[in-house]
């Protein structure tokens, strides 16, 4: 029997090796036990380290009564694992062994066991330290053993005699010891051995006893040698779940703006200080969320992570209240940390994870809770603390990350007038409902890498922490990798819009910018502004007096934005000439702009920048028309004699080619128009293909290009190629080329090509002259023909032409940039020469009336040239053609 305190858990010292046996080998008992110990230790370690410890399932007690007296304690079948790797289940004896030293057979195929008897339990056989005060050195705590009617003997008494049920706690205990064996007197003792007893006991103890077992009241008394022993304590059991009221969801008190009017009357003129005081009171009432920090820090201590400092957090928030605006954000920050806390407590019941459980916490017992408890989570009942390998949802890692986010939120709060003055308004798509992890990061946090990594567990796990949306986070398009507004992408899943950067601005500028973004991005919410000062003769439908509005709409609440389909409300205060936004609220519905039909139309949807103004048709007739464009640009809306016109001539060039939309009384309309710039293109002759031998076709190719950054493809092109009024429409191809073929074209009468470039009322006229440049052979004029010499015209002998080269002739570009054709006319006294090109691309010819022809400006191609020689005396002539092939 092993009663040593150092052997509370058999896994404290494990076997790491064993021997293999040879055939015929004599085996010592130590060798064989080494073999058994190794595999038993591995089996136990696998359970504890790879599965977990604690109550897996079942083992729930229920009490039965007869005549108002307790008649039985029914315990459901279940499974539990001790920190020593023992697998505990309820069982019944199925087969009783009749052979000495052979164990009875048990069955676990039972639904429950009903215990009807009890007796005082004495743990003298084991002296289990957890059952004795002062680390097992003192007396045993109160313990009672339960038994079924079949198991009870004369030592037991009926369960109805059990008193003080409210002070009883239930536990399972595996009584494990070695049975003392009498000396072997037979001839053969090989089948004897030391019997290992393992009896599963169902025990009851008192409150004092359960606290001793947990280790909460242990006193580290010194040993005989004076040393203070280590306290044996259940280090697994103190889970954050059992902190007092830890699972209670904490909600921040709402700020009801209507209280101002209810308490001080609707006739009172309020200031920003009055509105601020509502938020100061709400936060001071809960001391800026101190109780949440206390709970978080207790959880952090148990889990082993860094906590958060409430004092410095409170100081940061109090700085918000020294300013006329921005004080609402202090309220928002406290709400944020409470939302983070809410996420944590939702995960706590799933986060019973122990990577390396303390082996001495409950090596031979498990706690089943208070006997008469009716709560779901009993602090005196072991949960199942599963291994991280079974934590599919990574609940504990999520809790740790959320605690990290809590700390980052507390440390990275920022707000100052200088920061707000440099800010610009942004609308960020977010979520209406919790969790906070799925919402955009508010702009009052200093965005750091640590904060982004802690904001959303799933994104961080996928290495996409930078994909969180937020005011100070650049949004990158997945295609362009260039910063862009997230509103330009699909926002169907976003039910809320964070509106930030407006507090501290002049209300007119803030209203204009928010409406511009809303209308441009077609977002579904309305905007109102409220004046803390009473308005006189107010005709602005988007402006109202604060008191009147709050009285009519008491549901105003600060949300740091507006939900889809709601109304965003800004409150401004006028001091001197400055009308500054000091707070914002929202309503969950569209309010309070006119319900009358809004209509706006123009006679055209596209117009030339040089066109005359065109009138708007406006309904209602007194409606105010505005263009939805950047405040620095002119959208073309003008007023003449009380009527609205669209004047394209005043539209900013930056808006050319873009669709301009309009509002009436601030309401978006379907009216739109696009302004096109005056065409400014250039058209030149690219090339001309002149008639070849036997052909009468001349083809011209023209090149079209835009000037000053214009796109030539934005316009239509009409052509009068023959200069006879026969206009045809032909647009350039993608390269800007247009071709046309003339037939029987007379070089003496080359037409002017006329082009009309048009687009949405704009036009440009272009004429192309002198485009025909085909070389003409010189004519030979003979003034006097003398036939008296006996040589007649019709009897003249044609001259003989001798070309001083072969045909075809080969010429290589490496030989130079020109070549000469030499002609010769033996026998003619007064010859006239004429060279012409009959085939190939256009080249430059020099000396066309001389025997030698110089050819330049050629390229790799085949060419043909013809020489005509005329006898000036008789008029007789002869021709000869030569072919030249130019190679690289």
pLDDT digit string, tens, across residues 846-887: 888 888 888 888 888 898 988 888 877 766 777 888 888 888
Task: Report the pLDDT value the prediction gives residue 191, as an integer from 0 to 100.
Answer: 56
What's the CATH number where 852 sits? 2.60.40.10
Which residues are within 8 A (CB) of 321 and not within 5 positions of it... i.e. 6 or more apart? Answer: 276, 279, 280, 327, 330
Stated as kind and residue range, the H or E segment containing 381 is: none
3-state DSSP of 754-773 = EEEEEECCEEEEEEECCCCC
Query: Taking the mean position of all CA atoms in its chain, how far away is CA 73?
Result: 55
- Residue located via tokens 């379907």: 670
126-172: pLDDT as tens digits: 889 889 887 667 889 999 999 999 999 999 999 999 999 999 999 99
Q: In 3D, which of 545, 527, 547 has the Cα closest to residue 537?
A: 545
483 or 355: which carries more pLDDT confidence? 355
* Residue 676 reports pLDDT greater than 50: yes
424-457: pLDDT as tens digits: 899 999 998 889 999 999 989 999 999 999 999 9
Provide the mean pLDDT of the chain: 84
70 and 195 both lie in a single domain: yes
Measured CA to CA, the distance from residue 415 to residue 324 in angstroms comes to 12
Q: Which two tokens stand for residue 831?
A: 């010859």
Q: Taking CA 776 as the corner, what is the angle to CA 822 and CA 803, rounded to the nearest 5 degrees?
A: 15
First to last CA, the chain: 108
pTM over 0.75, yes/no: no
575-625: pLDDT as tens digits: 988 899 999 999 998 887 655 678 899 998 889 888 899 999 998 887 889
395 and 383 both lie in a single domain: no
Task: Report the pLDDT value the prediction gives residue 779, as an integer from 0 to 100.
Answer: 39
Residue 442 lies in a domain: yes
Given 653, 676, 699, the domain boundary residue is 676
Question: What phi and psi, each to the nearest 5 degrees, are found at residue 69?
Answer: -110, 145
In contact, 564 and 588? CB cutoff 8 Å:
no
Task: Report the pLDDT value the prediction gives residue 45, as an integer from 0 to 100.
Answer: 87
What's the chain's length in residues?
888
For residue 171, give the 3-state DSSP assignment: strand
707-747: pLDDT as tens digits: 877 788 888 999 999 999 889 999 999 999 999 999 988 87
* Residue 532 reports pLDDT greater than 90: yes
* Residue 4 reports pLDDT greater than 50: no
Task: Report the pLDDT value the prediction gives residue 794, as an integer from 0 to 100.
Answer: 40
Given 768, 788, 810, the domain boundary residue is 768
346 and 461 both lie in a single domain: yes
Whether the upstream peptide bond of residue 760 has omega within 30° of 0, thus cis, is no
* Residue 771 reports pLDDT greater than 80: yes
Percentage of the chain lying above the pLDDT 70 cut: 87
Beta strands in 19-151 (DSSP E): 52-58, 61-66, 69-76, 78-81, 87-88, 92-95, 105-107, 112-115, 117-120, 143-147
Measured CA to CA, the distance from residue 568 to residue 510 in angstroms comes to 12
Residue 793 lies in a domain: no
* Residue 23 reports pLDDT greater than 60: yes
For residue 487, give the 3-state DSSP assignment: helix
In contact, 815 and 885? CB cutoff 8 Å:
no
* Residue 655 reports pLDDT greater than 60: yes
pLDDT (mean) for 758-772: 85
384 and 396 both lie in a single domain: no
In contact, 468 and 448? CB cutoff 8 Å:
no
Measured CA to CA, the distance from residue 291 to residue 250 in angstroms comes to 9
275-304: pLDDT as tens digits: 999 999 999 999 999 999 999 998 998 888
395 and 384 both lie in a single domain: no
Cβ count near 402 (within 10 Å): 26
319-362: pLDDT as tens digits: 899 888 999 999 999 999 999 999 998 888 878 777 788 888 89
407 and 434 both lie in a single domain: yes
* DSSP one-letter string for 654-682: GGTTSEEEEEETTEEEEEEEEEEPPP-EE
Given 465, 488, 511, the domain boundary residue is 488
Structural domain total, the chain: 6
* Residue 536 reports pLDDT greater than 60: yes
Residue 844 lies in a domain: yes
* Helices 310-320, 395-411: inter-axial angle, 10-degree rounding: 50
Report long-range pairs for 752-755 (Cβ below 8 Å, ≥24 apart).
752/723, 753/700, 753/702, 753/719, 753/720, 753/721, 753/723, 754/719, 754/720, 754/723, 755/683, 755/717, 755/718, 755/719, 755/720
414-427: pLDDT as tens digits: 876 555 556 689 99
206 and 287 both lie in a single domain: no
Percentage of the chain lying above the pLDDT 90 cut: 41
* Residue 364 reports pLDDT greater than 70: yes
Residue 156 lies in a domain: yes
888 or 346: which carries more pLDDT confidence? 346
Residue 249 lies in a domain: no
334 or 542: which carries more pLDDT confidence? 334
Q: In 3D, which of 410, 473, 416, 463 has the Cα closest to residue 439?
A: 473
Residue 413 lies in a domain: yes
Task: Report the pLDDT value the prediction gives residue 782, as an integer from 0 to 100.
Answer: 33
Task: Report the pLDDT value the prediction gives residue 456, as an integer from 0 to 100.
Answer: 93
* Residue 225 reports pLDDT greater than 60: no
pLDDT (mean) for 557-571: 94
Q: Which two tokens stand for residue 196?
A: 């290992």
**Residues facing 811 on adjacent strands:** 886
335 and 358 both lie in a single domain: no
Residue 645 lies in a domain: yes
Measured CA to CA, the distance from residue 777 to residue 838 in angstroms comes to 11
Give residue 636's region: left, alpha or beta (phi > 0; psi -120 to 50): left
Cβ count near 168 (within 10 Å): 21
**Residues facing 179 on adjacent strands:** 195
368 and 385 both lie in a single domain: yes
**Residues facing 73 on adjacent strands:** 63, 115
* DSSP one-letter string for 59-78: --EEEEEETTEEEEEEEE-E
809 or 593: which carries more pLDDT confidence? 809
pLDDT (mean) for 538-548: 87
For residue 635, give the 3-state DSSP assignment: coil
289 and 418 both lie in a single domain: yes
Residue 262 lies in a domain: yes
93 and 116 both lie in a single domain: yes
57 and 169 both lie in a single domain: yes
Structural domain span for residue 622: 599-676
Burial (Cβ within 10 Å: 0-12, 13-18, ≥19) of residue 109:
exposed
Task: Report the pLDDT value the prediction gives residue 350, as an integer from 0 to 100.
Answer: 79
**Residues facing 338 on adjacent strands:** none
CA 458 → CA 354, 402, 495, distances in Å? 22, 12, 20
- Residue located via tokens 């007038």: 417
Report long-range pairs for 305-312 (Cβ below 8 Å, ≥24 apart).
305/400, 305/403, 305/404, 306/403, 306/404, 306/407, 307/403, 307/407, 308/406, 308/407, 308/410, 308/411, 309/410, 310/410, 312/410, 312/411
């Amino acid at each position: 029997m092993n009663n040593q305190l150092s052997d509370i858990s058999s896994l404290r010292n494990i076997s790491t090796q064993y021997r293999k046996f040879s055939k015929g080998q004599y085996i010592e008992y130590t060798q064989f036990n080494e073999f058994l110990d190794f595999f038993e230790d591995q089996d136990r370690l696998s359970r504890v380290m790879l599965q977990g410890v604690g109550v897996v399932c079942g083992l729930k007690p229920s009490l039965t009564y007869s005549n108002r007296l307790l008649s039985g304690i029914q315990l459901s079948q279940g499974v539990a694992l001790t920190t020593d790797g023992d697998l505990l289940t309820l069982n019944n004896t199925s087969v009783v062994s009749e052979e000495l030293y052979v164990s009875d057979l048990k069955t676990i195929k039972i639904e429950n066991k009903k215990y009807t008897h009890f007796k005082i339990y004495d743990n003298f056989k084991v002296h289990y330290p957890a059952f004795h005060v002062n680390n097992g050195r003192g007396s045993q705590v109160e313990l009672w053993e339960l038994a079924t009617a079949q198991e009870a003997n004369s030592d037991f008494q009926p369960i109805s005699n059990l008193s003080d049920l409210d002070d009883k706690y239930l536990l399972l205990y595996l009584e494990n010891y070695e049975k003392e064996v009498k000396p072997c007197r037979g001839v053969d003792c090989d089948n004897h051995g030391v019997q290992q007893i393992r009896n599963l006991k169902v025990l009851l103890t008192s409150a004092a006893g359960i606290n001793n077992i947990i280790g909460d009241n242990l006193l580290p008394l010194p040993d005989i040698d004076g040393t203070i022993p280590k306290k044996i304590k259940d280090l697994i059991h103190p889970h954050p779940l059992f902190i007092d009221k830890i699972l209670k969801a904490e909600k921040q008190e709402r700020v009801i703006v209507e209280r101002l009017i209810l308490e001080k009357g609707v006739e009172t003129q309020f200031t920003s200080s009055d509105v601020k005081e509502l938020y100061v009171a709400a936060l001071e009432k809960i001391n800026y969320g101190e109780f949440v920090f206390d709970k978080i820090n207790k959880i952090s201590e148990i889990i082993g992570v860094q906590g958060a400092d409430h004092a410095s957090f409170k100081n940061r928030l109090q700085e918000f209240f020294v300013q006329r605006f921005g004080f609402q954000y202090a309220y928002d920050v406290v709400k944020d940390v409470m939302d983070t806390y809410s996420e944590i407590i939702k995960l706590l019941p799933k986060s019973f994870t122990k990577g390396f459980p303390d082996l001495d916490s409950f090596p031979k017992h498990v706690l089943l809770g208070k006997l008469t408890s009716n709560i779901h989570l009993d602090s005196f009942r072991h949960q199942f603390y599963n291994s991280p390998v079974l934590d599919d949802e990574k609940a504990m890692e999520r809790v740790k990350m959320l605690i990290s986010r809590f700390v980052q939120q507390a440390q990275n709060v920022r707000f100052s007038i200088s920061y707000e003055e440099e800010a610009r308004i942004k609308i960020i798509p977010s979520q209406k409902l919790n969790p906070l992890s799925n919402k955009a990061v508010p702009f009052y946090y200093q965005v750091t890498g640590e904060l982004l990594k802690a904001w959303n567990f799933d994104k961080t796990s996928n290495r996409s922490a930078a994909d969180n949306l937020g005011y100070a986070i650049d949004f990158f398009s997945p295609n362009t990798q260039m910063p862009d507004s997230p509103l330009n992408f699909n926002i169907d899943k976003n039910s809320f819009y964070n509106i930030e950067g407006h507090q501290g601005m002049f209300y007119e500028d803030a209203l204009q910018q928010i409406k511009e973004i809303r209308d441009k991005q077609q977002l579904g919410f309305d905007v109102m502004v409220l004046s803390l000062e009473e308005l006189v003769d107010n005709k602005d439908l988007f402006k109202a007096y604060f008191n009147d509005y709050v009285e009519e709409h008491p549901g105003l609440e600060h949300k740091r934005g507006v939900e889809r389909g709601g109304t965003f409300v800004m409150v401004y205060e006028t001091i001197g000439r400055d009308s500054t936004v000091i707070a914002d609220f929202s309503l969950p519905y569209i309010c309070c702009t006119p319900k009358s039909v809004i209509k706006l139309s123009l006679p055209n949807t596209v117009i030339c920048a040089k066109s005359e103004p065109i009138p708007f048709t406006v309904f209602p007739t007194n409606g105010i028309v505005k263009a939805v464009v950047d405040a620095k640009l002119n959208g073309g809306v003008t007023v003449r004699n009380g009527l609205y016109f669209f004047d394209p001539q005043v539209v900013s060039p930056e808006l050319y080619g873009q669709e301009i939309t309009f509002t009436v009384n601030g309401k978006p309309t379907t009216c739109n128009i696009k302004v096109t710039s005056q065409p400014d293109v250039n058209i030149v002759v690219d090339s001309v293909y002149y008639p070849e031998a036997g052909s009468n076709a001349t083809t011209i190719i023209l090149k079209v290009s835009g000037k000053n950054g214009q796109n030539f493809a934005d316009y239509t092109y009409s052509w009068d190629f023959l200069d006879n009024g026969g206009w045809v429409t032909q647009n350039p191809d993608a390269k800007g080329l247009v071709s046309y073929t003339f037939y029987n074209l007379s070089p003496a009468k080359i037409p002017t090509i006329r082009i009309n470039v048009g687009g949405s009322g704009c036009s440009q006229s272009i004429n192309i002259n002198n485009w025909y440049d085909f070389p003409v052979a010189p004519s030979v004029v003979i003034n006097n023909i003398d036939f008296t010499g006996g040589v007649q015209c019709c009897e003249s002998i044609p001259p003989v032409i001798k070309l001083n080269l072969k045909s075809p002739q080969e010429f290589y570009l490496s030989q130079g940039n020109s070549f000469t054709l030499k002609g010769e006319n033996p026998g003619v006294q007064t010859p006239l020469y004429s060279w012409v090109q009959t085939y190939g691309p256009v080249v430059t010819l020099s000396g066309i009336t001389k025997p030698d022809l110089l050819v330049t400006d050629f390229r790799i191609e085949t060419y043909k040239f013809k020489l005509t020689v005329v006898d000036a005396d008789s008029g007789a002539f002869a021709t000869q053609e030569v072919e030249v092939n130019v190679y690289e």
